[in-house]
A and B are shown apart, each in its own frame.
Chain A
Amino acid sequence: MLLNIKNLHVAINGKEILKGLNLSVNKGEVHAIMGPNGTGKSTLAAAITGRENYDITKGEIIYDGETINDMAPDIRANKGIFLSFQYPVEIPGVSMTNFMRTAINAQREFNGLEAIPAGEFLKKMEEMKKLVDINTKLTKRSVNEGFSGGEKKKNEIFQMAMLEPKLAILDETDSGLDIDALKVVARGVNELRSTDNAFVVITHYQRLLDYIVPDFVHVMYDGRIVKSGGKGLAFELEEKGYDWIIDQEDE
């Protein structure tokens, strides 16, 4: 099992947001997590990636056989956990190229490898830019600075493609994308899908799941996964809305 989350409780500033969440993900699987705003989807992503101030008060996150509750975020990243941010941040003055090379070399150093040769790096950049249909100029610009909403999201997928994670979490990568950009994002994911990695796709809309077909769909509500099923569940949600599940829950 690649990811095994057991009875996870997470609090921010003492306020409990995740209230006993369970999730297991095997290699080769794609899991979709859906649910209304404010139910803790991004909080789950933050807890898995080790963001500061997301305090795990109970439970365990086991990744690749190891409990990572207290592991530094950069170590988790170097062990293969990647987050496509819901709101990618701008870093002025740091070119995408420089940022990407720093990240790749950090990962290589972690794995006991030499820094990537310039030629190899540039070749890989070109290849992955094509994959996600990113304009060459974009990688010369500062990280996310002046990028449109769509460009920021594509840039997240580009970074994912460059870093080849084992576990990729996509936090609403589809929101705000037009259909073409959505297809590009989906193509990126599908291209990278293999029996060695897994994806957790957080989304509001069934729409993305037409292009990234999930093996499992989970519905989150109030800090827990309240319903799980196959991809059919997404259609059901689309039809009946969340109220259908929420009503069951609140009873």
Chain B
Amino acid sequence: MSESKNENILDQVTNEEYKYGFYSDIEMDMAPKGLTEETIRFISAKKNEPDWLLEFRLKAFRYWQKMEEPDWALISHPPIDYQDIIYYAAPKKKKELESLDEVDPELLDTFNKLGISLEEQKMLAGVAVDAVIDSVSVKTTFQDTLAKHDIIFCSFSEAVQNHPDLVKKYLASVVPVTDNYFAALNSAVFSDGSFCYIPKGVRCPIELSTYFRINAANTGQFERTLLIADEGGYVSYLEGCTAPMRDENQLHAAVVEIITMDDAEVKYSTVQNWYPGNKEGKGGIYNFVTKRGLCKGKNSKISWTQVETGSAITWKYPSCVLHGDNSVGEFYSVAVTNNYQQADTGSKMIHQGKNTKSTIISKGISAGKSNNSYRGMVRIGRKAENARNFSQCDSLLLGDQCGAHTFPYIKSANETAVVEHEATTSKISEEQLFYCQQRGIDMEKAIGLIVNGYAKEVLNKLPMEFAMEAQKLLAITLEGSVG
């Protein structure tokens, strides 16, 4: 099957999913505002969860109540009233629109700039989509492929029902409920998310990306993802969507856990484009995310690639615990902030096994009055003989009212380890802009071009189809930032 045909089919599957609602088996209902044990019992009951999971949630909640919101990140926001939030609401069915004519033209404009296909535009904007080909057979094709390889890929809730042993075994095995304030909160109230299990020796033949790009429109506020690659397994997984995402919920606190056994590899790519607030800094999503991977087995590998352009506040440190000998952790990040956005993001690489290797490439781009911080920690354990880390953190400033900051922490308890850290700060030069303009390229395109060049090393790590869109996304995010 050709690449594009394949993608079409996947689009269809996901359209299908949307049309009938991912949560169609859940009654429409809503918890009252606020967070008490009652709320948690309500959520758990709604989801028909086993007792152990309810206990898990309650334990997390009790712990969370004793915790303090962290204040070490370089971000500021008015206090969050955790009792003023609705923690469970079955997703509202948006009113289906008849055609694209009814969609906000500004949104369509952005879709067009991103080069998103018409069909997909309809889907993302909530316009009724006609099934062009027999969607049942298409859906079967997608699931057949996964089933043929015994790959489990489903919503978290389904996994709890159908694969409780796997969920029980691995849930919170990488991010304990006590890990941090937001992880504890998520553990108490998580709504749904995804579950993926790659069995021994299986290389997942499809990028689990096209699926997610669509599905991302429906992800909840407290998302929970668990991804396991058993011995020799491989999967490439993309979360998020380049299209602008709006959500009425201001607070997002997701947890993603990855586990790789011997010789397994997981590539996890994220494109985050939640609503950043308006030009005056009003509104926008607070995105407090805990992502961590455990290279449990030897020779295993986990790569995080992220393109962060959205949210009013981004607080996020995708990390790797390199437990298995010879395991490899990678973090490639582009974080763009404009207007009043604040990003405090980076990575932690915890070296435990021998000959473990990690790479951190972080490209921060700040414009407007925004603040963009890299915060990273490299920790080499006592037993991590010959561990290697290379970190490179570059900051690019557009204008002189924005801020870029770098906070690298290094702790090494093994003399044979080599840790390298490089950091640069630069500005887009007037010479570069003029050079582009002199060739007929207007100011905004020129900024897009230069910024994309700057971020290329990271964008190259994205799955092909998204690399192109991510490039356009960077340019769009910075529109109006200079001149």
Binding site for B on A (CB under 8 A): 49-52, 72-74, 77-78, 82-83, 85, 88-89, 91-94, 98-99, 102-103, 106-107, 110, 142-143, 159, 163
Contact between A94 and B453, CB atoms less than 8 A apart: yes
Contact for B440 among A52, A77, A92, A142, CB less than 8 A: A77
Instruction: Flag whether B437 is at the interface (Cβ < 8 A).
Output: yes
A93 adjacent to B438 (CB under 8 Å)? no
Asked if B435 and A89 make an inter-chain contact with CB atoms under 8 angstroms apart, the answer reads yes
Q: Give the chain A neighbours of B432 by CB distance below 8 A.
A: 89, 91
Interchain residue pairs A-B with the least CB separation, the first 7: A93-B453, A94-B453, A93-B456, A103-B439, A77-B440, A73-B437, A106-B440
Determine whether the beta carbon of B453 is less than 8 Å from that of A72. no
Q: Knowing that A85-B438, A91-B436 touch, tell me 19 more A-B residue pairs with CB under 8 angstroms.
A: A49-B438, A72-B442, A73-B434, A74-B438, A74-B443, A83-B438, A89-B432, A91-B435, A91-B450, A92-B454, A94-B449, A94-B452, A99-B436, A102-B449, A103-B436, A103-B440, A110-B440, A159-B439, A163-B440
Q: How far is the CB of B445 from chain A (nearest CB, A)?
A: 7
Residues of the A chain whose Cβ atoms lie less than 8 Å from the Cβ of B437: 50, 72-74, 77
Please, which residue of chain A has its CB at the minimum distance from the CB of B471?
Answer: A98
B228 interface contact, C-beta 8 A: no
In the complex, the answer to whether A52 meets B430 with C-beta atoms within 8 Å is yes
Residues on the A chain within 8 Å of B434, using CB:
51-52, 73
Among candidates A50, A88, A92, A102, residue contacting B435 with C-beta atoms closer than 8 Å: A88
Q: A78 to B440, Cβ gap below 8 A?
A: yes
Least CB separation from A83: chain B residue: B438
Find out whether the CB atom of B440 lies under 8 angstroms from the CB atom of A99.
Answer: no
Residue of B nearest to A106 (CB): B440
Given contacts A73-B434, A89-B432, A91-B449, contact A102 B441 (CB under 8 A): yes
Docked CA distance A217–B434 (Å): 28
Residues in B69-110 with C-beta less than 8 Å from chain A: none
A99→B453 CA distance, assembly (Å): 10
Compute how far the CA of A70 lies from the CA of B436 in the bound complex, rounded to whole angstroms: 18
8 Å CB contact of B453 from A91, A103, A159: A91
Are A85 and B435 CB-contacts (below 8 A) given A92-B453, A93-B452?
A: yes
| B441/A103 in contact, CB under 8 A | yes
Asked if B431 is an interface residue, CB under 8 A from chain A, the answer is: yes
Q: Out of A78, A88, A94, A110, which one reaches B450, CB within 8 Å?
A: A94
User: CB-defined interface of B384-418 with A at 8 Å, one 1/0 digit per residue?
Assistant: 00000000000000000000000000000000000
Task: List the B side residues contacting A110 at CB < 8 Å.
Answer: 440
Closest-by-CB residue of B relative to A95 is B453
CA distance A93 to B454 in the complex (A): 6
List the A side residues contacting B226 at CB < 8 Å: none
Nearest CB of chain B from residue A93's CB, rounded to whole Å:
3
6 A-B pairs with CB atoms under 8 Å apart are A72-B442, A89-B429, A89-B432, A93-B455, A93-B457, A103-B436
Q: Are B452 and A106 in contact (CB under 8 A)?
A: no
A161 to B456, CA, bound (A): 28
Q: How distant is A168 from chain B, measured CB to nearest CB, in Å? A: 12
Query: Of B439, B453, B456, which is within 8 A of A106 by CB?
Result: B439
CB pair A142–B439 under 8 Å, yes or no, is no
The listed residue with most A CB atoms (<10 A of its CB), out of B432, B439, B450, is: B439
Which residues of the partner chain B approach A92 to less than 8 Å between Cβ atoms? 453-454
Within 8 A of A (CB), among B436-470: 436-443, 445, 449-450, 452-457
A119 shortest CB reach to chain B, Å: 19
Chain B residues within an 8 Å CB radius of A94: 449-450, 452-453, 456
B438 contacts A77, C-beta separation under 8 Å? yes
Q: Which residues of B lie under 8 Å from residue A88 when comparing CB positions? A: 435
Report the minimal beta-carbon distance from A105 to chain B, rounded to whole angstroms. Answer: 9
Quick one: closest B residue to A78, CB to CB? Answer: B440
A239 to B453, CA, bound (A): 48
B440 touches A74 (CB 8 A): yes
With A91-B453, A93-B454, A93-B456 already in contact, the answer to whether A106 and B441 are too (CB < 8 A) is: yes
**Which residues of A have CB within 8 Å of B457?**
93
User: How many angstroms from the CA of A88 to the CA of B438 in the assembled complex?
Assistant: 11
